[in-house]
Amino acid sequence: MAETAAPARAPGLGTLFPFVFAASPAVPHVPVKKFDQSTNPEGKLLRHKLTTALHHAPGHLARWPHKQSVIKASNRSKNQSHGNRIPIIASHSRPVSASASRAMAVVFAVNGERFELRDGDDPGATLLDFLRSRTRFTGPKLGCGEGACGACVVLLSTYDAAADEVSHAAATSCLTLAHGLHHRAVTTTEGLGNSRDGLHAVHARLAGFHASQCGFCTPGMCMSLAAALAGAEGKGAGPPPREGFSRLTSVEAERAVAGNLCRCTGYRPIADACKSFAADVDLEDLGLNSFWKKGDAHVSKLPPYKEGSIGAFPEFLKAEIRASLSIDRPATDMSTMTGSESSWHRPRSVEEYYKLIASDRSGTKVVAANTSSGVYREPELYDRYIDLRNIPELNSVCKDTKGVQIGAATSISQVIEILRTQGDGCKDVVFSKIADHMEKVASHFVRNTASLGGNLVMAQRDEFPSDIATILLAAGSSVCIQVSSEKLNVTLDEFLEMPPCDNKTLLLSVFIPHSTPDSVSSSAGTVNMAGDKTGSSLLFETYRAAPRPLGNAVAYLNSAFFAQVSSDGSSGGLILENLRLAFGAYGTQHAIRATDVEKCLVGKPVSASLLLEACKVLKKTIVPKEGTTHSAYRSSLAIAFLFSFLYPATKGNVKPAKAVRLNDFVASGTNGNSNSAHSVNLDVSHKETNCVKSGLYNNDHILDSCKQIVEISKDFLPVGIPTKKVGAELQASGEAVYVDDIPSPEDCLYGAFIYSTKPLAHVNSIELDPSLKQLKTVAVITVKDIPKEGANVGASTIFGPESLFGGPLTQCAGEPLGIVVAETRNFANIAAKRAVVNYSTKTLDTPILSIEEAVRRCSYFETPPFLLPQKIGEFSKGMEEADQKIYSAEVKLSSQYYFYMETQTALAVPDEDNCMVVYSSSQCPEAVQNTIAQCLGLPCHNVRVITRRVGGGFGGKAVRSLPVATACALAAFKLRRPVRMYLDRKTDMIMTGGRHPMKICYSIGFKSDGKITALHVDLFINAGMTMDISPTIPHNFIEALKKYNWGAFSYDAKICKTNFSTRSAMRGPGEVQGSYVAEAIIEHVASTLSTDAKLVRQRNIHTVESLALFHSECMEDALGYTLPSICNQLTASANYQHRLEMVQAFNKSSQWKKRGLSFATIAHKVSSRPTPGKVSILNDGSIVVEVGGIEIGQGLWTKVKQMAAFGLGQLWSDQSEDLLERVRVIQADTLSVVQGGWTAGSTTSESSCEAVRRACGIMVDRLKPLKEKLQEKQGRVSWDGLILQAKMAAVDLSAREYYIPGASGSYMNYGAAASEVEIDLLTGATTILRSDLIYDCGQSLNPAVDLGQVEGAFVQGIGYFMSEEYVTNSDGLVTSDGTWTYKIPTVDTIPRQFDVELLNSGFHKNRVLSSKASGEPPLFLAASVHCATRNAIAAARKDIHCSVSGSSSPSFFELEVPAIMPVVKEMCGLDNVEKYLKTLVGPK
């Protein structure tokens, strides 16, 4: 294997890290003439159950005659054969002949630079692998490896030489294979602009709208938006938009990032940045930004945007494409790129394809663009690839009066465009509805590449829960397949019923018939869509119920229904003449036709009794296979959708009408609703059916309106100004360096964890799969490799150490057993996943996999008494005073995964003298240093840990980052070579743990007016296998619970030791749960008293006196205790009482939608920690600041920078010297600033600021005498002059301070939120209509940063309470292990109206410049959404068809957390449709 030098990542990077790389020669940018763009997005092949894309080794850089950089082949690893794979259809592409001189090469451009792949290059490498290992462009990030997070999005551009047009499409680089990019141009965020040569408007606006926090997702956001801008420009007609704007509408702009995930911001500022490009936007409606003040918005103040600035196609590549078209291709040329170790074949006909598979051997994979590798993640290797994208039959589109035949390789995005064009041209609304539904399949950057045929083949062969198969089945589609030499046309349902396809079966095309008067017949004659004398009409609807309204989530169930109806002259009703009912994704092998139901319905007048009979038949038909989650819910969805489709057609609910398009567009329903109105040619009576239909239509905004109110304090300038976050532009442009962006040192190796899949077992042996010898694994590091001077320690807290590696006895599924070290990351991941671990459970007890079992077996961790809060009063006396009592009520709370966008990562580099340099993405570098030193048996000064920035933490990069960095360092120490680890998303989710699950039992007494007199809580906490920080959780829980005055209060807390992966701190650890339980108790009391919960909250909110009793260490005066005034203000500003009346009125009139409105509060204590700060002034007057706190997206660097400028600016009482831009905050280094401590608990920013302020005070004291002396001699003294004289006078220009908070380090945070939701009783879907928040931020150090923290925390709380289902199997192994199964909030799931106010509560001498924390407390307010959902369900349960048998009170029930769709539907009755129909039919 040839070793080659890696290219430098960025200018000057070598100065940032101990190892230095040579810079590559400068590459000029090639200007490009702009052409009109057409939408011809590249298609994509879906592949069979694979995720592994082999990493490129660093390649040679050489000069090219065109003066472009060229990457040539470097002989890398050999790929091993593993099984036969059948073809899944390739993407749409214009076939081109290769130049004779370069027939073996793949040529493409990245940001205008030329690259080549030749024989010997790994054909399985993804574009993301290539970019990050073979170029300097690291903007695209590895977030999930599944194509579902958007962190890796790039722009792919294709040049059509014949038409002289360039088309653009966003694509996921983590799935796109580099060898499939021949003659394509790739643009990453670096290709848009940079901080040196000029940022693009996309970069500058995202930064200016405060739309980047940790920044890891920001490059992908930029490219999704850039692709939307380029696409709108290509489609645009008519005059150009106004200067500074684009051709995007505001709806299109905010949907541009609908498929991208962000865990920090809460999406609102991202949507605002996107909408700033929309010509139809009112700029005054956009949120807080750095461009203008409210009331002074104008486009001229925005960074300028010009058409043609995105996706320039290199002229040299155009020339090569044109030249290649002029060379005749030999008849026998299959454009085969072969080498001694791998091959890539591009057949140009079906015949050529069959010649290739005739000689098929194991290890062959048929590919185009690889999107199926995001679905099926089995670790496999292949040594031969067949690219189908140049076969003309797979790319053709044929249209006639009967329908449209679409080549199977056509991308889903292109299919949508074809159907829309055809639907408009022939008035075929069915086509338009299919297109609407397809827009909810995956995300735009997957649809742009995923192929129509690939989706269907996965559905046929792999049981993929396809929406497309279902809707095409209902549309009466057929497919053309080739089986060896025979070509067959079969219906889609026949195709789906065939045995799973082998590699001799090739799907060529899909035929979708027109649904027009000329193309559809029935027993009643020709269907008349215009309502003529025959009285026949056509109905077509599609439905899906999924966790996200706009796609990027697999449906619980999808369905599509086609019907022809005619009028029944005798009864006046409607008769179903022809019917196709298709269902899929419910836990079935593939989509099916419900033929028994069709037989039940056809030929009969539609009535409630017939519909009830059909529902009974359907319930027997839709039976999910064993093991399917939420199976009863999925079955109920089928009935709900059939009801939605046919109920409007029952007698008295419809009347014939013309077939017209609704408002010139086809409506598209939201989650759980149909994709249009009930019928294109039936006038539905809204009076009767208004609650069956509703939804988010294609022309609807995701966000209706958002308002931010902040008060800017000028007491301590520049502190208090909403400046942009430090580094936001660098994050947007891809220049910000995260750990995995650091160039790999020479001879770098890669590590991957082997973890246990058993909860409690003896580990007899660990062996690598012998068939994977070609992976070039270097070693397997286990506990045996720890130096004898060291110890098996992977983490350590004040409560004790935790083992790095398990064994010989595993303690949980997910426990690390060792790491595989290999030459590439993908080799290491494959080898680790296919490692063979031999277990034995002889002589062992059964594992403890529940809190109940831990209690039964008394399996507990001890809680130090000093951590337990004091109890209040005597519980028994309080209960005696009560008028009513509730005993032993129970609340269960599940876990939550961090889902930081950057997974756990570290790079360890051995240094001289037995030292180690470790780059760790950690919230506590000092703890990393201590743990590594202890494991290796080294003094701490031999271990240097550097952390610049962290791509999201939320507590997960605290203790849980330590084992990753320690394992990485151990491997590097053992092998004496650099080693880096970057956990894949699945491994991270399985090993890292998350929030603590809990079981809470409470007994409470209260007066008839709602005043609570006593509360006792029994708290059981699932800590997992080790303590971590779990002993602090009871304290945190109880402190948060005490936000109300419970009268007498007592508790008992147990920390349960179980055989689950260790639970650790997650944003508001224990406090989120405690705050929520307080609200749940209030809701329980209110439902018992049949009163509004807000009144009960008001009865029990603290007075100043009771607050002092419950929180004696945080004394507040009446002015400091702002919660009562916040509640009053929120009630008034949010029109709470009026909205409550409106909700009640809505619920009385609405049958299938219900609304709820609720309130939540914060009275939360935070405590500051000791923190160091160091300020140094350099020779030129620039200022360097170091702090112990870590920038994890919370804006710590921004606040510290402002504080340093303020502190040093005190030398000038008139604030005449602006020092802000002279300050740079640099990375944390454990050998530079010691005692850095933990970045946690929301207070590290303010503590770091105070340490810096005091260090600046020291510096001011040193400089002030000199300044005064100079002033006496020369008058005014400038900063530059002062520093020059200070240097000459030998003044010490560096100062360090260690801030110790003392008794004033704890204080209370206050806030409140009111949320209104709407639930769909048919599907359980919850829409957050509005949330109003008021949060006391003191005198904010930076209102923009704090506003972002408030909004981001609230939305993360929505995820915990509403969508993030954390599932484990019977062994305790996490099965919610990726983006397919774990759903964090997206831009389409946040409140549609989202209003936030930061309250400035004024001066407070015991806080840092009167500021308050903002990182964690606002998350608790998301409980208001859950409580509002509970209220909506309670309203539904008052209706007889939603009442639940066995419930004594329809308003009292325990609503699970998270309240996902199946939970909400179950609370409203899985059989509510049948019950409703029975009320219509009446007793028999």
Tell me which DSSP letter residue 102 carries: G
Tell me, what's the pLDDT at 1019?
98
Peptide bond into 963 cis (omega under 30): no
pLDDT digits (tens, 9 = 90+) for 529-555: 333 334 568 899 999 999 999 989 999
User: What is the identity of the amino acid at 130?
Assistant: F
**First-last CA distance in the chain:** 81
Least confident of 100-114, 383-397, 513-527, 836-850: 513-527
Average pLDDT over every residue of 1095-1104:
96
Beta strands in 785-850 (DSSP E): 795-797, 800-802, 809-810, 816-822, 836-840
pLDDT digits (tens, 9 = 90+) for 1276-1293: 999 999 999 999 999 999
pLDDT higher than 50, residue 988: yes
Band (1106; pLDDT cuts 50, 70, 90): very high
SS3 1396: strand
Beta strands in 629-748 (DSSP E): 654-656, 682-684, 705-709
Edge-to-edge strand list for the sheet holding 397-400: 397-400, 403-407, 505-513, 478-483, 486-491
SS3 for 1406-1463 is: CCHHHECCCCCHHHHCCHHHHHHHHHHHHHHHCCHHHCCCCCCCCCCCCCCECCCHHH
pLDDT digits (tens, 9 = 90+) for 1199-1252: 999 999 999 999 998 888 899 999 999 999 999 999 999 999 999 999 999 999
Band (634; pLDDT cuts 50, 70, 90): very high
Higher pLDDT pick, 97 / 869: 869
Rounded Cα–Cα distance for residues 633 and 934 (Å): 52
Measure the CA angle with vertex 302, ends 300 and 308; round to 5°.
95
**Phi, psi angles (nearest 5°) of residue 339:** -150, 180
pLDDT higher than 70, residue 393: yes
Higher pLDDT pick, 808 / 774: 808
Least confident of 1127-1136, 1339-1348, 1467-1476: 1127-1136
**Phi, psi angles (nearest 5°) of residue 1300:** -115, 115
Q: Which two tokens stand for residue 648?
A: 């409007």
Band (672; pLDDT cuts 50, 70, 90): low
pLDDT digits (tens, 9 = 90+) for 1358-1399: 999 999 999 999 999 999 999 999 999 999 999 999 999 999
pLDDT higher than 80, residue 658: no
Q: How many C-beta atoms lie closer than 10 Å to residue 332's C-beta?
A: 7
Rounded Cα–Cα distance for residues 680 and 215 (Å): 45
Tell me, what's the pLDDT at 378?
72
Q: What does the buried/exposed string (b/e) look like for 1261-1271 if buried means 16 or more CB atoms within 10 Å of the residue's CB?
A: eebeebbeebe
Q: How many C-beta atoms lie closer than 10 Å to residue 1381's C-beta?
A: 16
Cα 829 to Cα 368, 626, 775, 804, 982, distances in angstroms = 23, 31, 10, 19, 10
pLDDT higher than 70, residue 170: yes
Q: Which two tokens stand for residue 763?
A: 């580990």
Taking a C-beta distance cutoff of 8 angstroms, is the pair 347, 364 a contact? no
Rounded Cα–Cα distance for residues 832 and 132 (Å): 22
Q: Which two tokens stand for residue 847?
A: 């594992």
Tell me, what's the pLDDT at 30?
34
Average pLDDT over every residue of 370-398:
88
pLDDT higher than 50, residue 5: no
